[in-house]
Structures are given as C-alpha cells and as structure tokens.
Amino acid sequence: MIPPHPDDSFTLSQPKYSDSTQLITYANRFGKDLSELASLMTELRDAFDGVHILPFFTPFDGADAGFDPSDHTSVDPRLGSWDDVKKISQDFSVMADMIVNHMSYKSAQFQDVVEKGQGSPYADMFLTLSSVFPEGASEQDLAAIYRPRPGLPFTHYKWGEQTRLVWTTFTPQQIDVDMRSEGGRRYIASILSAMAAGGVSQVRLDAVGYSVKTAGSSCFMTPQTYEFIGELTEQARALGMSVLVEIHSHYKNQIQVAQKVDSVYDFALPPLVLHALYTGQVGPLTKWLKVRPTNAITVLDTHDGIGIVDVGPDQQSGEAGLLSAEAVDGLVEGIHEASKGASRKATGWNASNLDIYQVNCTFFDACGADEDAYFLARAVQAFTPGVCQVYYAGLLAAPCDLELLAQTGVGRDINRPYYSAAQVREELRSPVVRRILGLLQLRKSHPAFKGKCQVRSYEQDSRLVLTWENKDDWAELVADFAEKKAEVTYN
C-alpha cells in the first residue's frame, strides 16, 4: 500500500516526439550487417519506433569502433550501403552519429597534410597546439585544458618536412578538426548532406563538447562551444533533421544545452537509479526528475560506460552535484561489487580507455544480475518523460563479456558483445527479455504516456511512484528500491 503523504510530489509533461522508444545498436553486433538489422527491427516493430545505428561509416572497425571515420560520408561496404539505411528509414526513424570533433589519422585529408604540410589544401582543417596558441601556451594554459583522459591532448605527427603537436583529444589516432576553418565547415556540410540524403532523421553530435578550442579556456563547453552547437543545429534542421547532443558533464550543463537543441541525453538517470538500488535512497533521483530537461533521450546504458561525472561535483568549479564525491565513490564500488569485480577489470588503468568519467559494465550486471532489480530500473526509464532508448546489450540483458574484454583489452568491449541474428532471436525468448519487451510495448502504445506524469517519492519507504494520466487513460509504476521490485499497472 502506498503511504498517503509523499515526501515530494510534482507533475511532469511528456514532450511531443515522433518516437516513444528507440533501439541503439551497432550494425554488426545485432546481426552481422545492415540487412540483418533491418530484418530484426521488423520483428521488433511492436517495441520500437526508431533505431540509433552506431557508426556504420568507413571504417566501422577503426581505433575506436567507428568513432574515428576516415570517410564520414560513405557506408562501409562490409555493412551495406545507404540504400540499406534508407530501407530501415521507411518503417523506423533512423538516428546516426556525427563525429564532429575528430576524424581518423588514416583519412585522405590528414594523410595529405602529413605528406605536404602547409602545402596541403587540408592543412587548415586540423588543429595543432600553435593554431590555438599562436603566441605559445603557458603552463597555466595547458593545465586549464579539460580532457576526459589523463595527460595532454597532443600527439607528435609529421607535417610535411616539420613535426607538429597535433591536437588529439581522445586517442592519437583521432585527429581533432578545426570546426572554425573553411575546410572544417565544408567537412561538416558534406556529412550533413550525406546523412539527409541517406534517410537519417536525427543526428547525434558526438563529442561536441570538445569541438571548439579557445585559448585561455578549458576548451570544453565554453560559450564558443554553445554557439557552435546552435549553428550545427540550425544546419541540420534546414535539411529536415533534428539534433541530439551527447555531453558527459555536470548536470547543469545538460539543462543549459537542452534549451538550444532538440534533445539531450539523460546521462544522470543511470547512476541515480543504481544509487537508489544500492542505498534505498530515492531523494537524489527525485531531485533530478524535478529539474531535468524533458526533451531528453532516457538511457540506462549506451555503447560507452556508465557515466559518473554526470551526477558528481563539477570537476572544474567544484559546484555540488546530484551526489556528493563520497556518494559517487560508493556508487563506483557498488558497481564493482554488483558485477562481482568484472567492471573493475574493464575500468580505468585496467583497460586501454582511461576515461575518467565512466565505469565499464553491462547494466544487467550492475544490477547484480537480479532480474527483478533490472526490471525495476527499466521500468523507471520507461516511465520517465522523454524518448526511451534501449541499448541492444541492455535489451538482451547481457552479462559482462569478459571473453571479448580479454581478447581486445578495451574496457568498453565488456559492454559491446557480438550477437548473430540467430542468437538475438534466441535471447528475445528469454523470460527477462520478454518482460522488458512487454514494458517497451506498453510505453510505445499506451495513450497515457502522451499526457502528464505525477511523481511521488517516499524516502522513508524507499519508494518512487510515477503515474501517467491522459484523459481516461492511466499507467502507474510503483518502484520499491528497498525490495528491488516494481509493480506496473494500467487500464
């Protein structure tokens, strides 16, 4: 029985989106290619309105699983063609990634610069230390640069007959593009045109928070970055596409960015749900539900790790987060414990991707492989306003892939398993996956979710109640974080 007097109560509205639910997947890990993905999506039409296809450009298997394209305008022929993408777009909305910060060192453009230096027509496309700091950089300038990995973001590369310090925010194989240069602008325009022609209706701006470097700043989410995001959004909208911004940062940055674009990720939701599961405390999750932007893509897992920086104190200003630094430390240890140490093997210094803001683990294992706790987490996601986007490994309740991690040594691969089409179909029949599919079908089809949501939290009882109402239709979730059980009812 729900107590009569909640500690907090408020009402949220569902924004007007064409999609209610989306799948996010690689083209070669949920089936072998775009053709098999199209067939599987047809079988999942009752659960999903759309699909976010992770990088399928040339090559899809570079140094960062496709996030380092050498040709961002072509579909890797091993996966299919733009015709395959268009086929999927006939029945589902299609989202694709626009990697705006960098491109592969193997790209024809950068290799031309390596060979010809300033004599290359592409020399202005790529950032170096001196192109941002023409008068030189002081120790203070360099220390102020925010980077998601240890060390400075520069790599020695040949530049014709010279050697330059080229800006590489993520890995030495990913060369940062100068988005303010004429070459950078032409590059951006070519990608947007190719996507629009290929049936893409939503563009995800990957790593856009790092895309504008300004001397004397952190080079991350600066006023110039916000200006650039606004310009990109207008360009995409002019071609009939909406924009999703991907930023791992302090929660107030998400609120600010949401005002300028069509949608943002709700990266704070996953760690807050886990925090509530581990501690029984629903206060931080309730606080976030009250202030979060509603034009959000709700996620519990993605192709990256579980974000931590999104709920902790601001790493630059020290401003308080949704969780204290001590609570964040406890959350990280909680994930390691729930996954029986698997996440510890894939995170930080134990893996080759040293992201300072993520823990690498499947969300199913982060829930202790407890099917009831996992269903509770997915139910909170489905009942939270926005577009409910489910990662393919999460849909299939995948455990941590320690075998793949051992093969590659890449921490994120623990949450990037490979499934043949036959294996997907087999997993879709498992009881836990069938429960998740039923939840997604409810979220996609029930008219209550087009109305308003009342949120009630009961801190003493560790319960959160979300009730959707739309005229005579209603759907309700009672999430009991102490018992790790969820009850979903509807008319």
The string of DSSP codes covering 228-263 is HHHHHHHHHHHTT-EEEE---S-HHHHHHHHTTSSE
**Would you tell me how many other CB atoms lie within 10 Å of the CB of residue 96?**
23
First and final C-alpha spacing in the chain: 19
Was 246 annotated as part of a binding site? yes
Strand partners, 230: none
C-alpha 25/C-alpha 137 separation (Å) is 41
C-alpha 45/C-alpha 42 separation (Å) is 5
Helix/strand/coil percentages in the chain, nearest 5: 40, 20, 40
Q: Which two tokens stand for residue 420?
A: 């043949």
Q: Helix (H, G, I), strand (E, B), or coil: what is residue 281?
A: coil
Was 303 annotated as part of a binding site? yes
C-alpha 81/C-alpha 418 separation (Å) is 21
Was 206 annotated as part of a binding site? yes
> Across the chain, which distance is largest between two alpha carbons, in Å?
76
Contacts of 378 (CB under 8 A, 6+ apart): 300, 390, 394, 436, 439
Was 412 annotated as part of a binding site? yes
Q: Which two tokens stand for residue 34?
A: 């775009």
Was 356 annotated as part of a binding site? yes
Strand partners, 285: none
Q: Helix (H, G, I), strand (E, B), or coil: what is residue 83?
A: helix
Q: Which two tokens stand for residue 5?
A: 């007097």
Asked if 110 and 72 count as a contact pair (C-beta separation under 8 A), the reply is no
DSSP H stretches of helix in 178-247: 182-197, 223-238
Was 204 annotated as part of a binding site? yes
Was 176 annotated as part of a binding site? no
Q: Which two tokens stand for residue 56?
A: 């399928």
Burial of 491 from C-beta contacts in 10 A (0-12 / 13-18 / 19+):
exposed
Q: Which residues are catalytic?
A: 206, 246
Burial of 447 from C-beta contacts in 10 A (0-12 / 13-18 / 19+):
middle
Was 185 annotated as part of a binding site? no
Q: What angle do CA 368, 381, 464 make, to 5 degrees?
A: 85
Which helix or strand (DSSP H or E) is residue 70 part of?
none
Asked if 202 and 241 count as a contact pair (C-beta separation under 8 A), the reply is yes
Rounded to the nearest angstrom, the gap between the alpha carbon of residue 417 and the centroid of all alpha carbons in its chain is 17
Was 72 annotated as part of a binding site? no
Residues placed in the known binding site: 64, 102, 204-206, 246, 303-304, 355-358, 412
Binding-site residues for substrate sit at 64, 102, 204-206, 246, 303-304, 355-358, 412
